[in-house]
Amino acid sequence: MLLQQFQQHLKEDFPHLSPANNKFILAVSGGIDSVVLTDLFYKSGYDFIIAHCNFQLRGEESLRDELFMTTLKEKYNREVIIQQFNTKQYAEDNKISIQEAARKLRYDWFSVISHQLSAISFTAIAHNADDNIETMLMYLFRGTGIHGLTGMQAYDKARKIIRPLLFATRKQIAAYAEENNLGWVEDSSNLQDKYTRNFFRHNIIPLAEAQFENTRQNLQSNIQRFKDVAILYEQSVETHKKKLIEQKGNEIHIPILKLQQTQPLDTVLWEIIKPYNFHAQQLAEIKKLFDAANSSYVQSSTHRIIKNRNHFIIAPIETSEANHILIEANDKQVKFENGMLMFEKLSATSYQLSAGSNMAQMDESKIEYPLLLRKWKQGDYFYPLGMKKKKKLSRFFIDLKLSATAKENAWVIEMNKKIIWVIGYRIDERFKITPSTQEVLKISFTAAQER
């Protein structure tokens, strides 16, 4: 029955895999789960090699497990590769637990093998349904988001890993091993509660089973429900992100008022900031930015969330100031690294035309807010005042004989991907004042050294 179920699950869960076109690394510890996995792959006609990690944590027992690989090599006529690790030293050097060290060493090695052997499609790992339940409970007690409740991934495309035994219980695996007279080795550390997983396996789950007869079946069913919930959750989060987030270069811009009105705020805000190495404990601090002074920020190890008037800007930490600054209709002044911009709206009957390069005067009716203040970049173009044809800024600067430093420090004001002013040089022809202009937007630039 297990062999038939295994083959059926392979077809349903991994339809892109076939015996004819795929070769696998089987992660084999020598325990009952990985031995059964090896036998199932062999009888299903798949090509594979066996990879064994010796973490050197159990003395003679670790050596015994390594030597056991010889019997598998002879039985299945498959290549066996073995890697020894100084796991304790690695854990000390990296200040992590032994469990975490072993996990990282293991998966990193599988990745190396996969890259070295071009014929390898995936690494198969023998995690079963009971392992999955334990993993879900560990995440639940540690404190996790919805994804922690979905347990392990059967298909990890990024790391080229599959877990084809997640459907099978430990009892089913043990019955198969007995029916097929398989030999395996026992890991004595599985009997010790010092490891978190074993604590749940030997204590928490048996206590629950004493009260609820179908504990394992219910938890397994819940994992599948949580997987479905996670899909709906992701869809909802992405909808919120599309409404809130605007990507500007290497920065993220978020309108504060729209964010404040989002529900549930904490969940959506967390999903936005999580990719930038912020911690959930920082949520309260970040929400204080709503009422904080302009330019206030909260920092992660790699990024800052900066309050920039009506927006939050998530920028890389090496950026001392935002490189993309939004200008709203009611802004009177905007500071940036080159200096300060002053904004004034005048009646067409009261303004005086100025030819100064540090002042721009444009038809306000042609302006749509918010405007974007940013550094110029290669490929930028505009229609210089007095010209009917567009010109790339790179050529415009060459014609002006600007120095490399001056070009590097040039900023522009953009509206709907149209440059309306190359600050300190020239406005765009499309936004000039005409006889029909009724209101004038006047922008004055004061360089930093002049303030």
Residue 133 contacts residue 216 (beta carbons within 8 Å): yes
- Does residue 380 have a known ligand-binding role? no
Q: Which residue, among 211, 121, 201, has the nearest Cα to 169 in the 3D structure?
A: 201
Which neighbouring-strand residues pair with 271? none
Encode the chain (451 residues) as per-residue pLDDT tens digits: 899 999 999 999 888 888 877 889 999 999 999 999 999 999 999 999 999 999 999 999 999 999 999 999 999 999 999 999 999 999 999 999 998 999 999 999 998 888 888 777 899 999 999 999 999 999 998 877 788 899 999 999 888 899 999 999 999 999 999 999 999 999 888 877 777 888 999 999 999 999 998 999 999 999 999 999 999 999 999 999 999 999 888 889 999 999 999 999 999 999 999 999 998 889 999 999 999 988 788 989 889 999 988 999 998 876 545 678 888 888 888 888 888 999 999 998 877 777 678 999 999 999 999 899 999 999 999 999 999 999 999 999 999 988 877 888 899 999 999 999 999 999 999 999 999 999 999 999 998 765 4
Cα distance between residue 82 and residue 84, in whole Å: 7
Domain ranges of the chain: 2-226, 247-316, 324-450
Structure tokens at 57: 């944590």
Q: What pLDDT, on a 0 to 100 scale, did the predictor assign at position 319?
A: 52
Nearest Cα to Cα of residue 180 among 32, 359, 396, 14 = 32
Rounded distance between C-alpha atoms, residue 314 and residue 324, angstroms: 10
What pLDDT sits at residue 322? 65
Number of Cβ within a 10 Å radius of residue 225:
11
Cα angle value 284/285/289 (rounded, 5°): 110
- Chain length of the chain: 451
pLDDT at 115: 82
Q: What is the pTM of this model?
A: 0.66
Say if residues 440 and 345 touch (Cβ distance below 8 Å). yes
**Is 249 marked as binding a ligand?**
no
- What residue ranges in 135-220 does DSSP mark as E strands? 155-156, 161-162
Please tell me the predicted confidence (pLDDT) of residue 404: 79
Residue in this structure with the two tokens 């499309």, named with its chain if needed: 430
* Contact assessment for residue 383 and residue 389, using Cβ atoms and an 8 Å cutoff: yes
Residue entry with tokens 């302006």: 367
Strands across the sheet containing 297-299: 246-248, 251-255, 311-316, 303-308, 297-299
pLDDT at 448: 76
Q: Which amino acid is at 100?
A: E
The values of phi and psi at residue 195, to 5°, are: -90, 135
As a whole number of angstroms, the distance between CA 84 and CA 200 comes to 28
**Is 420 assigned to a binding site?**
no
d(CA 253, CA 75): 60
The fold of the 2-226 domain, in CATH, is Rossmann fold (3.40.50)
CB–CB of 38/72 below 8 Å? yes
Partners of 359 in beta bridges: 444
- The DSSP result for 221-263, as a single string, is HHHHHHHHHHHHHHHHHHHHHHHH-EEETTEEEEEHHHHHT-S
User: Locate tokens 């029955």: which residue?
Assistant: 1
- Residue 356, annotated as binding a ligand: no
436 known member of a binding site? no
Report the 10 Å Cβ neighbour count for 118: 7
Per DSSP, what are the bridge partners of residue 51? 27, 81
